[in-house]
Chains A and B, each alone.
Chain A
Amino acid sequence: AQTVTQSQPEMSVQEAETVTLSCTYDTSESDYYLFWYKQPPSRQMILVIRQEAYKQQNATENRFSVNFQKAAKSFSLKISDSQLGDAAMYFCAYRSTGTASKLTFGTGTRLQVTL
């Protein structure tokens, strides 16, 4: 079974600065998807960024980028130019390429953004 580990329960960043959230995972599969989701106090999980394991190029979405290290099974999220609206819980998630497409989540990192 796949597992996802987020070792940072809480992180803090100043507005306009850069922060990196860590995620490691364990799998025996060679092809899969990795995601970062944001969960603000409104509770709705919002997709931040997605990475296909077969792609060597790291995904980027505006101020959000990932550092995907397949051999190390590491998938970190970098948030540049942090904004107050980035404050939320961030979850790393894994999905197989099989038909079920269920997500396996980590325990989350709470990100605080300070002035």
Chain B
Amino acid sequence: DTGVSQDPRHKITKRGQNVTFRCDPISEHNRLYWYRQTLGQGPEFLTYFQNEAQLEKSRLLSDRFSAERPKGSFSTLEIQRTEQGDSAMYLCASSLYTLGYTFGSGTRLTVV
């Protein structure tokens, strides 16, 4: 297993466009988390899945954001009508229940 993979590593998009990021967790991990990290800040929790069920969403996750984890494997995070304030690094992590997290290397989004 190569760990948690995120794709793409970098994404530059124009304001108003939609973007989608993908996260492939460690195969035996049943939990998957999304975090957002802006410059100079620590990561902030966005949402998490246990298997295919989305169990918690932060109030940071506006209605322009949607996350899915079909079949409890990979996950996608979509941002519709991107705004400059969405520019950040989006981190994915996975775990087996409440055991230790493994993070991916993140997707850096720049909205111009």
Contacts and interface: CB of A to CB of B under 8 A. Distances in A.
B41 A107 contact: yes
A115 interface: no
Interface size class of B (residues with CB under 8 A): 20 to 34
Interface stretch (B20-28, B67-75, B78-86, B101-109): B101-109
A105 B98 contact: no
A93 B33 CA distance: 15
A100 B56 contact: yes
Interface string A71-115: 000000000000000000001010001011111111110000000
Interface residues of A, number: 21
Given A44-B106, A93-B42, A107-B40, 8 more contacts: A43-B89, A44-B105, A45-B93, A100-B48, A101-B31, A102-B45, A103-B43, A105-B43
Interface of A: 4, 42-47, 50, 91, 93, 97, 99-108
B101 A47 contact: yes
A107 B42 contact: yes
Contacts of A105: 42-44
A47 B103 CA distance: 9
17 contacts: A43-B89, A44-B103, A44-B105, A44-B106, A45-B43, A45-B103, A50-B100, A91-B42, A91-B43, A93-B42, A101-B95, A102-B33, A103-B45, A103-B101, A104-B45, A106-B42, A107-B40
B1 to A, nearest CB: 15
